[in-house]
Amino acid sequence: MKKIDMTKGSIIRKVIMFAIPIVIGNILQQLYTTVDTLVVGHYCGDASLAAVGTSSQPVEVLLCIFLGIGSGVSILVSQSIGAGDEKKVEKLAHTATSFVYMSGIPIAIIGLFAAPYILKFMGVPEDVWDSALIYTRIVFLGALGNIGYNMNAGILRGLGDSASSLWFLVVSCISNIVLDLLLVAGLSLDVQGAAMATSIAMFLSWITSVIYIEKRFPQLTFSFLPKDFDPDCMKGILAIGLPIGLNNSLFSFGHMAMQTLVNAQGYIFMAGASIAGRITGLTNVAITAVSAAASTFSGQNYGAKNYDRLRDGYIKIPFINGAVTLAMGLAVISFRMPLLRFFSQDEMVLTYAGRYVVAVLLSQWCYAVFNCISNMVNGVGFVKYTTVINLLMLWAVRIPTAYIINRFFDGTYIMLSIAISFAFGMVCMIGYYIFSPAWKEIISRADGRRDFDIPLETFRTLSGKP
């Protein structure tokens, strides 16, 4: 696979080239849970469908913190590539491999024992409790493979290679589909089979990514087992990745709080929200793909000190992300009911799901702009502001709004709180361009001006960069 150098050439063309494999890969990742939902819905019923939907939230809470740290690896790799420091890239790769084991094994153990307490906190109904507990525990046991794959994907994105991860996902997706049909449809293992299929497939994807990096980038001296752990590299990774990871984890924890409101409406609404999430997740692929490209673009050009290119990209890339997301959302809204009928034939489930899809997709373009700007800001290491806005977006806007809707209006309209939080986040990140001293300093350097006497490193520190 060819590495993409984001420091020269057409900005939009490079971003699109980088993003297309991620789009396809994200669709395949969505296919993981979509296939689970389709197979469980057809062979196991609405109660099992609700269990799969509610069980994904607690797993994300613990995984997201480490996946955020993987983003820290990607950012540092991209900056080192931009600066031409290949030795630093090698050290980062070795340290990341060690961290996979340092985090994945404890998560599996913690998740195994903590699962019932987490589900109790979420208020999971008795009629789906057993299925939700089994699903949650098995997926936690697969955490090592999940973290391993995502850490390696972060390394490759930092190197400018976004296409290879697609092939790893092809392997895991095909494995997941075959195992779903075998374990759930064939052996009637219900949600237990769906969870086993997903976990095994993720391990296969991780192993494939290790083999690829060993062969494609021999200069990294990469290996499946940990070696050459570098404390300084780990400190740098945590300094950037930990705030992102904590933010993601708290965000997922907030989703669990939201899930308690969903659960309070009964399992019919739970099932509707679950299948709606599969549809809205598919339209999310452009957001995450372009945002990942934006992070790599930002990191490489920051490392290369291409401040004029950063200035241009900070405007163009979020605009493209928002426009593509809006177009995709409108298209899916037009065909939402035929799509939803693939998952369920219950008219009440479909009514709730259709309502959810419309509310989210009409506002998701705001999230696209917000997320893209956030990733570009993170790409240069300014993580403090984005962390605060993410937390406010969820805990100060979405959750309080949802509780107000549930308390004083109709709880089956709580998805409107998502749209409100999207708009809030977008406005705050646009405000970064207007008020941030660090951003103004980058602009002054791009224009060849020296409006500030303070070195840029000082702004990096003030903005949350070590």
The model's pLDDT over 319-328, given as tens digits with 9 standing for 90+, comes to 888 988 898 8
Full-model pTM: 0.68
414 pLDDT above the threshold of 90: no
Least confident segment among 63-77, 99-113, 418-432: 63-77
Give mean pLDDT, residues 324-342. 87
pLDDT tier for residue 465 given thresholds of 50, 70 and 90: very low
**Distance from C-alpha of 149 to C-alpha of 169, rounded to nearest angstrom:** 9
Going from N- to C-terminal start, the domains of the chain cover 11-435
CB distance 291 to 375 below 8 Å: yes
pLDDT at residue 452 in the model: 42
Q: What is the pLDDT of residues 202-213, one digit of tens each?
A: 898 899 888 988
CB distance 131 to 47 below 8 Å: yes
Residue 8: count other Cβ atoms within 10 Å of its Cβ: 12
pLDDT at residue 2 in the model: 56
Residue 417: count other Cβ atoms within 10 Å of its Cβ: 23
Give mean pLDDT, residues 100-121. 85
pLDDT at residue 67 in the model: 72
Residue 355: count other Cβ atoms within 10 Å of its Cβ: 18
Q: What is the DSSP string of 364-402?
A: HHHHHHHHHHHHHHHHTT-HHHHHHHHHIIIIIIIHHHH
Least confident segment among 318-322, 389-393, 453-457: 453-457
Give mean pLDDT, residues 377-388. 80
Q: What is the mean pLDDT of the chain?
A: 80
